[in-house]
Amino acid sequence: MEKIIFYILAIIIIVFAIASVTSRKMLRSVIYLLFVLCGIAGIYFLIDYNFLAAIQLTVYAGGIIVLIIFSVLLVHHIEMELEDIKTSKKILVGLASLLGLGVFLTTIYAYNFPVIENSNSIDMDTIGLGLLSYEAGGFILPFEVISVLLLAAMIGAIVIAKGTKIATSDKPKGKSLEKN
Amino acid sequence: MNISLSITKNIHNWLFSIMPEGVASITEMVLIAVVYLAIFAVAGLYLVLLERRVAAWFQLRIGPNRVGYQGLLQTMADALKLVSKELTGTIKADKFLYNLAPYFVIVTSLMALALFPFTQEFQAFDINIGIFFLIAISSIGVIGILLGGWASNNKFAMIGAMRSGVQTISYELSVGLSLITMVLISGSLQLSEIVEVQKNGWLIVQGHVPAVIAFMIYMIAGTAETNRAPFDLVEAESELGAGFHTEYSGMKFAYFFLAEFINMFIIAAIATTIFFGGWLSPFGITESIPILGLFWFLGKTLVLIFLMMWFRWTFPRLRVDQLLTLEWKYLLPLNLLNIVLMALIVWLNLTIQF
């Protein structure tokens, strides 16, 4: 049963991944990418890693894909199609992807995956305590670093959004440049 | 896979006694899917009828009262009419995305519906990250609206879709944060456990002041997330025709329409489960009859739905800038303060418990 579901998910991921890079219409390839991400979330559900699956759905499917769709909606008209690429570029990109595939396959086949019997699904309490513990194996440092990074990004976004307003409201031009 | 399908044990045992295990589990899943689809259709249709009757009541009219007793079959007849209608489409639309868009909206609301504990036994998917899963699912629904608006190749539909995107992305934040406030006090994300916690008093009573604030923020943001008036800029008739579903007809339009009402049901059901004790009866008066849990759950949900309809027929529509000001300048800071307040109350053990 699980094997069948895994193969169905794998086929979905592969087919839509290929479709998303070969499609000539921009929004369609975004939607194919969405299906790929949902398929990956499905695999996380299959291995009983519910938290990561929900994160995958919120961050990638709900956040990033919606942002991409937004930018496509703003800049792209429905009748536009992506240009055909030169043959030399196609060959170059093909070689690069083959190289990447080779690296991945050799790593996967060289590594000896240990099989874990009786895996338990991890509940939220364990994840939360793990994020906040400062003992060995705890994740407090990366957690804090990420929060600082997010704060910096937030301040940056506010500054960018406010930028023109400050420039127009101040009368002397030199001052506004300094502020920005 | 560890899905606990706990709808009714009797059917489960009976199925497994007459069939081999693999076939029985697949049959069981199909049966549950059919049951939920039926709930989806019936609930959607009757909510439409309820909305029309409530609207009529507010405007001193009678409303639909000819088809069946007191108009009870009116929406069934409407559904039949919609099924028999022609599915028109525009020639220059992106056909694939145009046809795909309604299903995004439908599938996400169906997935959310599976999580609710209607009674102690009647719950299809009791996942341990419950609320978080609901938030994750609801963030995907907006993709359907964005796609529908863009793929129709119609400027008004496109503007409606953009407005919807802005609105949903903003208000999702408030919905999530107000639910997180309540998670602080319940101590669990699993919906069945949250109901269990409320046996010592509903969470809105346990958490008193911050819980009431969280409930108000949740209802405002939830109404906005379902794109209902006073937040229905998405389909503002006077400006945009019908907004993102201008180009849809027949059953495809009905999908969007039904999904809107089911989303309203979902928002009210989340509020029932998290603030008002789900299937628990007030003061445990019917604790000995577990089947009455369904009555209490639906009763509380319908009261909240009535509240949302009351909003719709009372308040005028907001402008886009007012909408965004309300979210980013008022609700969000209030919400963040509220989380701190709730954390303090839980930390100092100031909760009210019976």
Please tell me whether residues A8 and A54 are part of one structural domain: yes
Is the Cβ of B23 closer than 8 Å to some Cβ of chain A?
no
Range of the domain at B93: 87-347
Q: Give domain status of residue B18, yes or no.
A: no
Please list every residue in chain A whose beta carbon sits closer than 8 Å to the beta carbon of residue B25.
1
Element (H, E) at A103: helix A87-110
Please list every residue in chain B whose beta carbon sits closer than 8 Å to the beta carbon of residue A31.
97, 100, 147
Q: Give domain status of residue B10, yes or no.
A: no
Please tell me whether residues A112 and A148 are part of one structural domain: no
pLDDT score of B109 more than 60: yes
Q: Give domain status of residue B162, yes or no.
A: yes
pLDDT at B201: 82
| Contact assignment for B133 to A61 by CB distance below 8 Å | no
Please tell me whether residues A93 and A159 are part of one structural domain: no
Q: Give domain status of residue B67, yes or no.
A: no
Write the pLDDT tens digit of every residue in B46-99.
899 999 999 999 999 988 888 888 888 888 888 888 888 888 777 777 888 888
| Contact assignment for A69 to B100 by CB distance below 8 Å | no
Write the pLDDT tens digit of every residue in A10-38.
999 999 999 998 888 888 888 999 999 99
State how many domains chain B has. Answer: 1
B residues 176-195 closer than 8 Å to A (CB): 188-189
pLDDT at A156: 92
Q: Determine the Cα angle at A94 with ends A91 and A100, to 5°.
A: 145
pLDDT at B9: 67
Nearest CA in chain A to B136: A58
Please tell me whether residues A22 and A103 are part of one structural domain: yes
CATH number reported for the structural domain that contains residue A85 in this entry: 1.20.120.1200
In this prediction the ipTM stands at 0.83
Is the Cβ of A51 closer than 8 Å to some Cβ of chain B?
yes
Please tell me whether residues A53 and A132 are part of one structural domain: no
Residues with Cβ within 8 Å of residue B135, at least 6 apart in sequence: A58, B172, B175, B176, B179
Q: Which residue, among B265, B270, B297, B278, has the nearest Cα to B202 in the 3D structure? A: B278
Q: How confident is the model at residue A99 (pLDDT cuts 50, 70, 90)?
A: very high
CA separation for the pair A58, A65 (Å, rounded): 10
Range of the domain at A165: 123-180
Q: How confident is the model at residue A158 (pLDDT cuts 50, 70, 90)?
A: confident
| Contact assignment for B146 to A34 by CB distance below 8 Å | no
Residues with Cβ within 8 Å of residue A172, at least 6 apart in sequence: none
Q: Give domain status of residue B252, yes or no.
A: yes
Min Cα distance B292 → chain A (Å) is 31
Distances in Å between the Cα of B324 and the Cα atoms of A158, B121, B221, B320, B332 are: 15, 41, 11, 6, 11
Please tell me whether residues A2 and A60 are part of one structural domain: yes
Nearest CA in chain A to B94: A78
Can you give the pTM of this predicted structure? 0.86
Is the Cβ of A49 closer than 8 Å to some Cβ of chain B?
no
**Mean local confidence (pLDDT), B284-298:** 81
Nearest CA in chain B to A37: B140
State how many domains chain A has. Answer: 2
